[in-house]
Chains A and B, each alone.
Chain A
Amino acid sequence: MVSTSPDSSAETGGGAPNAAAGGAAAKPVTYFDGITNRRHEVALAFGRALEISEHGAAVASWAYDDLRAADGGQDTLRLKCTSGPPLARLEVPAPQVQAEIRARARFLHVERETGAQTRRIVAWSVAAIASIVAIVVFGIPLAAARLVPLVPLSFERRLGDMVDNRVQQIFRGKICTGAKGNAAFAKLIKTLAQAGHLNMALRAAVLASPVPNAFALPGGKIYLLNGLLQKANSVDEIAGVIAHEMGHVAHRDQTRMVIQNGGTSFLIGLLLGDITGSAAIIFATRSVLAASYSREAEAGADAFAISTMHALGRSPAPMGDLLFRITGAQGGRTIGILASHPLTEDRRALMRREDRPATGPEILSAEEWRALKAVCRP
């Protein structure tokens, strides 16, 4: 029941007549005091403040400037008061009374999200995105480069063992056992490691796989696949590739990659959260970033291979030829920003520029080279 309350402030209330929302007896104003959920049917009076009374007794007095609209139903105006109990609510169903309140309460909708607030959220978000992009593009590679020397070698070896476990399972029983070939391979590794000043215990093996590839694991494990060995025409071709893999070991590229990729995944994946369909975007971003980190690392390993071959008085050019023989020209076939390696033709051109006449002895004798090539033959 809305009724007129005794007018105590009609002449001071800015000329506002004391409000009587007559004819709304069917729609009582309900007050909840925030202490219990008991329904209080109250009367309102518009004095200096909004006076709320129940059966003639004052219940609360809410300053107009403290009135705020709370979420309510369709037609009911639900009020709260910033200076009152946090959950005290006033439910006003009658439109006339609502109009009276709206006329007095200046800050009724101040909590509603305004355009300015939205713009502020957008601006901060854009700033956050810019900061994340900067961290991912500049910060993480820098941090990874600084962190890698701090990672103990023993940890790197553990990381390598972990991967090695999986490699061993995939290539079970495919480690080539030719005794003479393995001896030649060990000599090759030893010579290259000495020339590259790589002072760590290296372990290496040839795997009987037709894939033309070679790879290094963290902690100094190098695998050469027979497919690559069979495509090679000379020791220098294979030596260059092995030296390249040693470059990865020396630069501790995998450890750096783990830190980098872990960091970017965490940042991009967690911060961007669940925007609809973001999974594909996250995947794309990560692939591009990982590829770009990887191309840098590959270029570094190539530089290592070139200097090692020079130190031995051999030319790095044959390695470039071997790579080109395997992949062919890549320009126009691969997508630049997604490639993990620099284009083969660029790598070959670089190695040809570094071509110098041989001043050192052959790394392996002709006989040793033949034995190495046959290392996977039973």
Chain B
Amino acid sequence: MNEATLLQPLPGRSARVAFTGKRRDFFRLVRRGALLELITAGFYRFWLSTDIRRILWSGTTIDGHPAEYTGTGKELLIGFLFALAILAPIYLVYFLIGIELERARAFASIPLILFFYAFGQFAIFRARRYRATRTVWRGVRFWMSGSGWAYSWRACLWSLLALVTVGLALPWRESALERYKMRHLHYGDLPGRFDGAGWALFKRGFWLWLLCVCFVAAFAAIARVRSHPGLLFLPVLVFLVGGLFVYCAYKAIVWRWWLSGICFGEVWFHSDLRAGALMRLYWATVGWIALVVLADVVMIALVILIAALTPLFGGHFTAAGMVLFARQHFYLLLGANLANYLVLALCVGVLARVYLVHGVWGRVVVSATAHNLDRADDVRARGDLVSALGEGFADGLDVAGF
């Protein structure tokens, strides 16, 4: 034994997190799910998101044991229906108060939107609580205490501060909110904790913030000098491309910081995710979407060309002829456009899920190593299941977060 080991009386067991999910399986799942979502006008989403979580959870292996997601689509549906029943009267009250305020002064009801922001934050907290109680590892589930409203007002105040400081306070916002959420998360009788400091995230991400400010300033300057909108094409392109690079780096930095801050009792995680680790996934998404759109444009051009050349449509390939055709077959064209749009949207949805959900998850979790795992070898089960009401609110209010 050398000195180093002697200095550490408890050389805890460490293990890198593994991910065994296969992209092909996941692709099949979301392709089928997207079609079913289309047929059911979106009702299938409860079962699809359950299936997605099951695949992600069970593909994530910590210390040789995969995690397990025990939620069901039915729970999500019931949670959604309850949330709907609660939201309906709230919307009505919101409407009535809005009328009174508008009567007093035009546009006075705008601050009411803040209420829905707060409600959305509440929903985010409660949704995480549902997911935690459906997460099982080694026969013991996670659970969460804490109050959704206490979280909500904290989130609102921090958001306000972040807004006032033009995003500079964002790291501290993230850190404070995550501390609240992790403080109330438990694995059995092992309490969770978040050690990520706002300052650490600030140091890592400050150059991105600066880059953003420079981008915006440069863009504004160019937009002012070049008055012709056509000349703005290049700057806009640079802006978008640069923006995506910055975003990828930002996401990677935040993920790394977040994973490295997680502790349960004496077990702690560390992540070595590089800032450029997610670039390929995001650019693959953009590339595939561009390809799909290009294929779509080519297909439409071909259809128009064939339609113009066949005698069925008069064979007049003139602008006036096409306008006439469009006027005569309005519903046909409307239907064709709608179908085309839906197919396109579904493709984009599938691509985003494959790369940005499955891909990013796989990339992020394997960057983590769990330390001191022997301190999690005899954890007692605690905590009860909670309903999916929070998920329902998040769905009804269209907020995403985790």
Residues of A within 8 A of B13 (CB): none
The segment from A27-35, A187-195, A225-233 found at the interface with B is A27-35
Q: How far is the CA of A169 from the CA of B106 in the complex (A)?
A: 8
Q: How far is the CA of A271 from the CA of B140 in the complex (A)?
A: 35
Contact yes or no, B45 A275, CB < 8 A: yes
The segment from B64-72, B163-171, B310-318, B355-363 found at the interface with A is B64-72
Contact yes or no, A276 B346, CB < 8 A: yes
Q: In the complex where A122-B36, A125-B43, A273-B42 touch, is A158 in contact with B139 (Cβ < 8 A)?
A: no
Residues of A within 8 A of B58 (CB): 71-73
B225 proximal to A (CB < 8 A): no
Q: How far is the CA of A144 from the CA of B312 in the complex (A)?
A: 47
1/0 contact trace for B78-110 toward A, CB 8 Å? 001000100110010001000110110111000
Q: How far is the CA of A72 from the CA of B91 in the complex (A)?
A: 42
Contact yes or no, B41 A37, CB < 8 A: no
Contact yes or no, A39 B103, CB < 8 A: no
Contact yes or no, B84 A270, CB < 8 A: yes
The segment from B197-205, B281-289, B376-384 found at the interface with A is B376-384
A residues 91-117 with Cβ under 8 Å of B? Answer: 91, 113
Q: In the complex where A37-B140, A158-B100 touch, is A76 in contact with B381 (Cβ < 8 A)?
A: no
Residues of B within 8 A of A34 (CB): 139-140, 381
Closest to B67 in A: A71
Q: How far is the CA of A277 from the CA of B350 in the complex (A)?
A: 12
Smallest CB–CB gap between A60 and chain B, Å? 12
B residues 31-56 with Cβ under 8 Å of A? Answer: 34, 36-45, 47, 51, 54
Residues of B within 8 A of A266 (CB): 88, 91
Interface residues on B, range: 35 or more
Q: How far is the CA of A159 from the CA of B96 in the complex (A)?
A: 9
B residues 368-402 with Cβ under 8 Å of A? Answer: 376-381, 395-396, 398
Closest to A333 in B: B327
Contact yes or no, B139 A71, CB < 8 A: no
Contact yes or no, B99 A159, CB < 8 A: yes
B290 proximal to A (CB < 8 A): no
Q: In the complex where A72-B66, A91-B65, A128-B43 touch, is A275 in contact with B38 (Cβ < 8 A)?
A: yes
Q: How far is the CA of A126 from the CA of B344 in the complex (A)?
A: 23
Q: In the complex where A87-B140, A169-B106 touch, is A121 in contact with B47 (Cβ < 8 A)?
A: yes
Q: In the complex where A37-B188, A71-B68, A278-B42 touch, is A262 in contact with B140 (Cβ < 8 A)?
A: no
Contact yes or no, B103 A161, CB < 8 A: yes
A residues 27-76 with Cβ under 8 Å of B? Answer: 30, 32-39, 70-74, 76
A89 proximal to B (CB < 8 A): yes
Contact yes or no, B100 A87, CB < 8 A: no
Q: How far is the CA of A281 from the CA of B342 in the complex (A)?
A: 9
Smallest CB–CB gap between B219 and chain A, Å? 27
Residues of A within 8 A of B349 (CB): 276-277
Residues of B within 8 A of A274 (CB): 42, 45, 395, 398
1/0 contact trace for A132-166 toward B, CB 8 Å? 00000000000000000000000000110110011
A349 proximal to B (CB < 8 A): no
Q: Of residues A37, A76, A168, A278, which shows the largest number of chain B Cβ atoms within 10 Å of its Cβ?
A: A37
Closest to A91 in B: B65
Closest to B84 in A: A270
A280 proximal to B (CB < 8 A): yes
Smallest CB–CB gap between A278 and chain B, Å? 6
Contact yes or no, A276 B376, CB < 8 A: no
Closest to B350 in A: A276
Residues of B within 8 A of A36 (CB): 139-140, 188, 378-381
A335 proximal to B (CB < 8 A): yes
Residues of A within 8 A of B41 (CB): 125, 129, 272, 275
Residues of A within 8 A of B42 (CB): 271-275, 278
Closest to A90 in B: B139
A15 proximal to B (CB < 8 A): no
Q: How far is the CA of A9 from the CA of B205 in the complex (A)?
A: 65
Contact yes or no, A32 B139, CB < 8 A: yes
Known contacts A73-B58, A87-B141, then 4 further A-B pairs from the complex at CB < 8 Å, ordered by chain A residue: A33-B139, A122-B40, A125-B41, A276-B345
Footprint of A on B, CB under 8 Å?
A: 20, 34, 36-45, 47, 51, 54, 57-59, 61, 65-66, 68-69, 73, 80, 84, 87-88, 91, 95, 99-100, 102-103, 105-107, 136-141, 188, 327, 330, 338, 341-342, 344-346, 348-349, 376-381, 395-396, 398
Contacts A/B (CB < 8 Å), 6 sampled: A73-B58, A78-B68, A87-B139, A275-B42, A277-B348, A281-B338
Footprint of B on A, CB under 8 Å?
A: 30, 32-39, 70-74, 76, 78, 87-89, 91, 113, 118, 121-122, 124-126, 128-129, 158-159, 161-162, 165-166, 168-169, 262, 266, 270-278, 280-281, 284, 332, 335
